[in-house]
Chains A and B, each alone.
Chain A
Amino acid sequence: MLGEGILKGLGETARNFAGSFVSAERLTTVQYPEERIAPIEATRDFPFLVYDGEDWQAGMRCVACQICEKECPPKCIYIVKSTDKKPDALGKPQIYPARFDIDISVCMSCQICVEVCPFEAIKMDTEFELSTTDRFGGLLYDKKELSKSNEHYHKVHPTEAAEVDARLAEEKVKADAKAKAVAAAAAAKAAAPPAAAKPATPAVEKAAVVAPIPAAKAVEEETKG
C-alpha cells in the first residue's frame, strides 16, 4: 500500500533517535579535544630529524648529503652544508647541515625523503596539531624544531625504530671491525724491521686518513642493499 515505505522509514529514524540515547556504541563520534584515539602505527604526517643521545646538535645523524633535498617532489627541504666537519654518531668527522629547513605548508607527506636517506636521519612524525598564528614563519621549521630524539622515534613508530636501530648497530659493528683491521694492518706495517722504518711513517699517516672512507662506503652500500 502507498505510504508503507514511509512508515517503515519513520520507524527506522525513530529507532535511531531513541537508540542513540540508550546504546553508547551507536554514537561513534570521538569528541576530539577531550577524547582521542591513539594513532595507528603507520600514521605519518611530516618529517623530523633523528638525533642519538642527549645533545641534538652533537647526535644529529644527518650529514647534509642533500639527497632528500634533491628527491623531494614539492621541494620543501632547504639544506646548507657546513664548511667544517664534526664527529657524527659513529665518531667519524662528517659534514653536518648548517641549515636544514622544511616548509610543512609545502610538504605533502610522501615519505620519499625517508626512503632515500642513507643515514636513517630523517623519519616521519605523527604530530598533527600544528596550527600556528604565523602562517609563514610558523610553518617553516628549522633544524632545531625538526630535531627529535631517537626515543621519540621509538615512541611514535616502535617497530620501525627497532628495525632501524638493529641495522645501525650491525653497521657499527662492521665499521668497527673494519677500522680495527685497518689499524691492525697499519700497526703491523709500523712494527716491520727498522730498515723499512723510513717509508713506514707516511703509510701510517695515509692509513689514518683513508680509514673512514671505506667505512662510510660500507654504510652506504648496506643501506642501499
Chain B
Amino acid sequence: MIEKADQIFILLAHWLVSFLPASLQHPAMVLLGVVAIIATFPAIFALTVLLERKGLGRMQNRYGPNRVGPYGLFQPIADGLKSLTKEDIVPFNADAVVHFLAPVLLVVVVFMGYAVLPIGRNMTLVNMDAGLLFFFAIGASSELSVFMAGWSSRNKYSLLGAMRAVAQMISYEVPLLMSSVAVVMMTGSLSLNKIVDAQNQYTYGLPHWYVFTPWGFAGFVLFAIAATAETNRSPFDLPEGESELVAGYFTEYSGFKFALFFLGEYVGMMGISGLGATLFLGGYSAPLKMLEVVPSWIWFFAKIMLAMCAFIWVRGTLPRLRQDQLMNFAWKFVLPLTLLNLVVAGMWRFMGDGWLRWVVCSAVLLGAYVLMGRVGMRKENFGPRSYRYAE
C-alpha cells in the first residue's frame, strides 16, 4: 500500500501507455513525464505567487490580496487572465525576432532543468549520469535569454538590467558550482539519483543528509546565497531593480511575454531549490526513518516549498545590495569560502570516522567565516570624496 502510494504516478503512467502499441510505449512515457512537469510546476508557481503576496503582506502588517474569491485564493487566476488579455507591445525599434525569442528561451531552458531532477523514487525523467552537469549547463543558458531580452528591447534600462544580470549571474555561477563540487567529491558521481541514494540512509532513525555535516552545512549556505543571486531574487535583484531600472531587462515586455518572464523566474527558483534539496537535503528522502511511510514525492515538494518560503522571507527582510557590494561579496567572500569548503570536504573524507573530524572541520570553517567576515567584508574608509574637473 505504501509502495503503491509512493509509485502512484509511475503506475498511472504505465497503465495509461499500456493501451498503446509496444513501439509507442517508450516515447509516450517520456511525453507523459514532460506533460506532467509542464503542468505541475506552473500550478505550484501560481500557488507560490499567491503565497508570496500574502506572506510579504503579513510581514509588512498588511492583508495582502484578499478580494478575488475566498481569502483571495483566485488571485492567480485573475492575474493570469489579466496578463493574457493585455496588449502585447513590441517597441518600434526593437529586434522583433530576438525580442520574441527571449522569454520563450527562458521558459524552455528553465523547464529543461527539471529533466534530470529526481522528483520522487523512480521519478526522474532522464536518469543521466552527468545530471548535475546538465542542470548547470542548461541553467547557464538562462543568462543568454536575459541578455537577449535586454539587448533586443533597444531600451537603456533593459540593456543596463541585462548587463547587470550577466555580470551577476556569471559571478555567482562560480560559487554555485564550487559549492556543489564538494557534494560530487563525496558522492563520487554526477548523477543526481546517486547523490540522493547516498543520502537516503539512516543511523538511529536520523538521515545521512549532507547538510548535517560541517562541509555540507557550509556548502548549503553558500549554495543558497549563490542560488538567490543566480535567480535574481532579492536582495540580489539588481537586474530588475524597479527603483532604478523600471523593470530591468524586461522593461519593454508586456502581456503574456511578461508573464512568461515571471513564470520563468519562479520556475527557475523552484528548479534551483529542487537541486539544492537534492544535493544537500537528501532529495526525496524522508527527514526521519519512521516518516518513510509518506510518499517520496511529497517530501520533494515539501522541501521545494520550504525553500520558496525561505526565498520569500529573505525578500521581505533584506534591502537590495549595491553593485560593488554584490561583486565584493561574490569574489571576496563567497568564492574563497567555497574553495576552502572543497579542502574541508577532502579533510572530512580522509580523517576517518570519529569525533575529531567534526571538531577540526567545524573549527576551520567557522574560523574562516569569522576571519573573512572581519577582514574581507570590512567597511573601507576612502576618506572624503574628491573631484577633479576637466580644465
Question: Nearest 7 A-B pairs (CB), nearest first?
Answer: A2-B373, A13-B59, A9-B317, A13-B317, A20-B58, A17-B58, A26-B61
How far, in whole Å, are A47 and B17 apart by their CA atoms in the complex?
A: 74
Q: Could you tell me the distance in whole angstroms from the C-beta of B65 to the nearest C-beta in chain A?
A: 12
Q: Which of A10, A21, A27 contacts B314 (CB 8 A)?
A: A10
Q: Could you tell me the distance in whole angstroms from the C-beta of B175 to the nearest C-beta in chain A?
A: 16
Report yes or no: A20 in contact with B61, Cβ–Cβ below 8 A.
yes
Q: Could you tell me the distance in whole angstroms from the C-beta of A155 to the nearest C-beta in chain B?
A: 31
Q: Which of B55, B62, B377 contacts A29 (CB 8 A)?
A: B62
How far, in whole Å, are A52 and B198 apart by their CA atoms in the complex?
A: 89
Report yes or no: B373 in contact with A9, Cβ–Cβ below 8 A.
no
How far, in whole Å, are A10 and B318 apart by their CA atoms in the complex?
A: 8
B residues in contact with A19, CB < 8 Å: 61
Is B328 interfacial (CB-CB < 8 Å)? no
B-binding residues in A (CB < 8 A): 1-3, 6, 9-10, 12-14, 16-17, 19-21, 26-29, 31
Report yes or no: A16 in contact with B61, Cβ–Cβ below 8 A.
yes
Q: Could you tell me the distance in whole angstroms from the C-beta of B212 to the nearest C-beta in chain A?
A: 20
Q: Which of B313, B370, B373, B374 contacts A10 (CB 8 A)?
A: B313
How far, in whole Å, are A14 and B59 apart by their CA atoms in the complex?
A: 7
Interface bin, chain B? 10 to 19
Secondary structure of the B side of the interface?
helix
Report yes or no: A9 in contact with B318, Cβ–Cβ below 8 A.
yes
A-binding residues in B (CB < 8 A): 55, 58-63, 313-314, 316-318, 369-370, 372-374, 377
Nearest residue in B to A9 (C-beta to C-beta)?
A: B317
Q: Could you tell me the distance in whole angstroms from the C-beta of A7 to the nearest C-beta in chain B?
A: 10
Most buried by A among B58, B370, B373: B58
A residues in contact with B314, CB < 8 Å: 10
How far, in whole Å, are A56 and B288 apart by their CA atoms in the complex?
A: 80
> Are A2 and B377 also in contact (CB < 8 A) when A17-B59, A27-B62 are?
yes
Report yes or no: A13 in contact with B62, Cβ–Cβ below 8 A.
no
Q: Could you tell me the distance in whole angstroms from the C-beta of A29 to the nearest C-beta in chain B?
A: 6
B residues in contact with A29, CB < 8 Å: 62-63
Q: Could you tell me the distance in whole angstroms from the C-beta of A28 to the nearest C-beta in chain B?
A: 7
A residues in contact with B59, CB < 8 Å: 13, 16-17, 20
How far, in whole Å, are A77 and B391 apart by their CA atoms in the complex?
A: 60
How far, in whole Å, are A29 and B372 apart by their CA atoms in the complex?
A: 44
Q: Could you tell me the distance in whole angstroms from the C-beta of A142 to the nearest C-beta in chain B?
A: 35
How far, in whole Å, are A27 and B61 apart by their CA atoms in the complex?
A: 5
Nearest residue in B to A20 (C-beta to C-beta)?
A: B58
Q: Could you tell me the distance in whole angstroms from the C-beta of A117 to the nearest C-beta in chain B?
A: 42
How far, in whole Å, are A211 and B374 apart by their CA atoms in the complex?
A: 94
Report yes or no: A1 in contact with B370, Cβ–Cβ below 8 A.
yes
Q: Could you tell me the distance in whole angstroms from the C-beta of B221 to the nearest C-beta in chain A?
A: 9
B residues in contact with A10, CB < 8 Å: 313-314, 317
10 A-B contacts (beta carbon < 8 Å): A2-B372, A2-B374, A2-B377, A9-B317, A10-B313, A16-B58, A17-B316, A20-B59, A29-B63, A31-B63
Q: Which of B61, B317, B374, B377 contacts A28 (CB 8 A)?
A: B61
Q: Could you tell me the distance in whole angstroms from the C-beta of A16 to the nearest C-beta in chain B?
A: 5
Nearest residue in B to A14 (C-beta to C-beta)?
A: B313
B residues in contact with A1, CB < 8 Å: 370, 373
Most buried by B among A10, A17, A31: A17
A residues in contact with B372, CB < 8 Å: 2
How far, in whole Å, are A219 and B141 apart by their CA atoms in the complex?
A: 83
B residues in contact with A17, CB < 8 Å: 55, 58-59, 316
Q: Could you tell me the distance in whole angstroms from the C-beta of B133 to the nearest C-beta in chain A?
A: 31
A residues in contact with B373, CB < 8 Å: 1-3
Report yes or no: B62 in contact with A16, Cβ–Cβ below 8 A.
no
